[in-house]
Structure 1
């Protein structure tokens, strides 16, 4: 079974560390995708500008070739080849050379007649045989420019020349008749494109012109021209739309952005502009998020370990100790105690637990003492019941004998004593008020005979109270105490017993005109003492029995002075009713 400490650690990992990891992971991927899209959008704008600049550069060459194909000198030169004037031919060559040198990007200028024979070449460094398909392309264009990529030249090399260059070819038509006179080929240095593709951006990037197969038609790094951009995601460009993707090239992950170029080359159906940026450089911010996530996870894990070692371990130990002590208390061992803890909260809890156990022990001891007193009181009552029970038959015999002998006083005492014994023999704790009054009257009658009418008494009870139950033997001990302590030999004593009621409480009032109870004795009666009452069923015995049986709100109140004493007994009414 998993311990509480492990449950808390698991909860910490699941509800704190795991959400941090997931949040960091999602933040990394969301920021990664957002960064890709943002940079690619910016790169597309750059490629758009680059494409426009490329067209502008190409347009400058087109302007030059327009001038050349419309030049009268070129036309006359092609026509002069049929004339045998060497002087005129020399002057035409010089004029053409002068036009070529006006454009520094043109590396070679070649004129061909319709039969394909070279009529003019600006220098002898390049000996080039044009591919047949390019000638056919120029014828189809009918005078428009036809561009050839550097890779096409590499496939059909110029004799004695390994440099890469662009090639432009055009059919030359007669101005007047529009009949073809021949065709022109220009070899353009790659500086034309280098100036366009050169970039001063802080972020390293590689811009390419490629065809549909991925062959690199142009790159600022000329070593790449003719190689293939071999990436698995290149098929996405077949849709013909602008886009981007992440892929490996040359052993490095690249963010590759592409768009179709408006610059077309002969022999290539589609030309694409591609920009490649190293993803490791671009993703520094996302790597920072990823590293921060790992760092936060590590810190959270370290915090969990520290939390477990410095705090959770103590709490877990406290809970285990509390559980152990609670089981001991549950089994009845009240000696169990919690140790002190340094943490304030745990210290307070352990202190409260110990105080609770101490309080429970005190309550149990108090209940035991009260039960012991109750048993003693019941025992004393039973003891008083036992002796009259054995004497009852004997008293009947004495009564019969006294009556037959004419001893009326003895017979009267015997009858009253029998009545006393009958109430004592009753095993119940409560008797009706009328029986309790009958019991005390019988006792008073016996004492009147004994003390030769030294006192008188009166009993006045509310009739509505007579049927209410009351704890038996509560009046007789009080009367006995009056007769024992209140009257002297020559006093004319008077005892008054009254019974009244309120809505829910019954009252007995026992009053005498004796010498009163000393103040010191009253103080002792008010104090709660645990020692046994030496006088048997005295005033305290009555008071304690009423409280034990009816509760703390009921009992006895004593008021005394030199002219007498008044004792009030209160007890609950079970039948209810209203005042009468």
Structure 2
């Protein structure tokens, strides 16, 4: 018998690697396709679940908010002071109660940020509204049923240029069986309520429909979508809806206690197409990566893997906290058949480590400086707010109010107290950067008080360019300078004086010049130089503790603390080159000038949007 021994067929290692790579690629593609299909189902399910969760939370929030509005309506409608006011027939008593009612309604509106207006209309003609006018509510009052507990929706109406949802309730005496007194109305900024409730950074924004249950009146949302919902006649909690060429996944919530229906819809076709697009892109990238990996595997199999293992071990040392390794870097020895890419990677990695160390130091230093600046700003603002409402000014104002009260000057008292309250409210609320127009309003309130006190001893004139009103400046930066001009200039003068407030833009250097000039007693040259030196010290010799610096300035020059305070804030905001400029001549007058980088609120918002996109 002849035994034939077959010699095994041999092939190059490269062929084996190619064969293995082809099998591996087929398996990966199959797994990727299957995973992509599962991902599509999972992504669709997650989006629908998230929408359902969002809709449930939105319905809960809407129910809670509107229950709060109902309680507010009951609270206002059955408030004894409100009822007394709308029934009052004595003009003097009604006038005296007006401000009290305004404060009550204002405090009530502050309970919720979406309340745009509260109005009460009495059947005898007495009325009050935070917006100032009740004309638009009168037609609604005529159509409101006068039953005792008829709380209901009155639809949408424009209030303060805002499309608001109007809630209404008739006003009855607290005693049982009493007659109808009038109606109260609550205006809600419904658009902002639902827009603020939208999920942030969501790729697919849901559509929200909010309507009354009984009348089917749409309060908020797309009218065409709501018509499609009504045509479908679906009342279940979850359903699909066809509207035009789009198919929506809808969630319905009936707020039966409040008498509203809430629908939250998401366009299915939109996120389905997006999901398929992402899946196709993922498959394409997987194919590219596999091809690229195969080429690298065939060409650099052994040196690449060993070098990457060495690099991986070095990275693990860094993640484990070996700072010495991060400082020294890595040197990969590849042998005879080295790979240029591995050398470049190691060099780039070492450069990255060095750059990371530099960046860490820079970031730490920057954050430290930002923290110190923020602390200085906060301490300066606190000290500023503490020092702005001058006790002498407040004492003189209250004394003047007492004198007006004894003389029965009711209108003057209301005017002065309103101006005083505006100054206090403005100084403690809102952003620290305001427009020149906003700052001038509070300055005018302050001057209203001073002109009432001094009874024509000085006049006020404004010389403002049109483009100066929109410039952003630090809050309460003009009022202290105006107060200084009155107290140290005009008040001490025996002749009738003038106060000039002006502003103009310097387009060449990009700043706004703002000046306050008074024709008061002025100051001698020695006093002027003393104040100028104090201004330099307040802007250059800061210890880092703004509170301590202000106390030292107060001790050194008490009469000029207002000017020094403003100067310190200016240099903290804009730098030493924007410190105050002051000129004065004895028996002639004093001029103080501010230079402010010209920047508007619109420009700030555009920069913020640009940074957010980046």
Q: TM-score range by the shorter chain?
A: 0.3 to 0.5
TM-score normalised by L of structure 1:
0.36
Looking at secondary structure, tell me which structure has more helix per residue: 2
Based on CA coordinates, which of the two structures has the bigger radius of gyration?
A: 1
TM-score normalised by L of structure 2:
0.34
Considering Cα pairs closer than 8 Å and 6+ residues apart, tell me whether 1 or 2 has the greater RCO.
1
